[in-house]
Structure 1
Amino acid sequence: MITSSGIVHAQTWTTPDGFLSVTPPNPETFVAVPSPPEPFLGLWVSGDEATRLGVMKTEIPIHIKIKQSSAEEGLAEEIGGKVTRLPTKQVAGYEVWQMKAKGASAEITQAIVRHDGTIYKIMAATVGQNPDEQTIDQFIGSLVISQPARTVPPGTATSPGESNADLDGGLDSHNLSKSIGGFAALLGIGLLIYFVTRGKNK
């Protein structure tokens, strides 16, 4: 089945471009938002509206390098808290940066992967209560990439900091990296999602 925001199979949800898939959360406790606001491609909200799980993407110049530390700084500024760097993992030849930010009233865990000029982010935001770590870990950990990285030597992986099309080129941009780390964080925890969800379910 193809929806306006993604492709839904029996056990997975896939981005419209087919690049990556995730396993949606339990439909008994989460509601899928039919037409999520940009930059979300897929969005699921818990029944108590405290947890939002989403997949989003944004475009960047293909030859610009990004810094992991700057992306973490951007997320920390957006949420007004501190960031913990989680272990980087490799999926289909791509490095996936993972980080967790905790603020006064919200916590965000996210994974970032880059494919040429596109940044994909898998994000879990919890507001006003302790996060459901098991559900969050299962959602983010379910990431599958269907298009293996190109021009990558065996045993290595393409980092989000580098373009898959040109591993040696590009200029670093601290501000761009910060914006990548923080983009959609406030949207993920804000009341906008609450109103969008209510409107879609009436």
Structure 2
Amino acid sequence: MPEVQDKEQAELEAEIGRHMMQPENYGKLEDADGIGIGVDNATKTYVIMYIKRDSSHILDVKFATNSATQDAATLGSLLTEMIKGDEIVNVLITVLGLEQDLQEAYANIAPPKVDTTKPEGEQVEHISTDHQDSANMVLTAFRAAMRHFDRKQEGIEEEHFEMSIAKTCPYSSGDCKFVEKVKES
């Protein structure tokens, strides 16, 4: 069985590499039924998801991002390829599973190393959540696009629907503190 697992791992890594080098479904979908934006207010980065759907299927999907990391583009490419053409009920189950995996990934971040011989402010090692935050933006953008579609069905006209990502700061007792979005008058 280890040979089968090694082969599956190699295939997965090749697939991820392909999406990293040549993201699929990147760009704007002109006739989108739902446009959602997943925003990380801590870094001012976002993912935009465009969906074209009917009552039972995701017919087409595209995404874009302003993230400087390759993670958001790679993960956006992977998710859009997974859900394009699929039944919405299956897509929602897939996304829920990915959201649960994401919460587990946040929870399993190793504690930072503390070096008290260094000056105050430099004692705690920086822990990156870039991978998790990118996945969070992609999944949140999808949820926002679905919500935008629902709101349009309810007669609410808006250009898009925006949601901030929800995350807990590692090693803090409360939620991350983000700068609130300022509403334009």
- TM-score computed with the length of structure 1 as normaliser: 0.29
Higher relative contact order (CA 8 A, sep 6+): 2
Whose Rg is larger? 2
Structure 1 or 2: more helix by fraction: 2
- TM-score computed with the length of structure 2 as normaliser: 0.31
Structure 1 or 2: more strand by fraction: 1
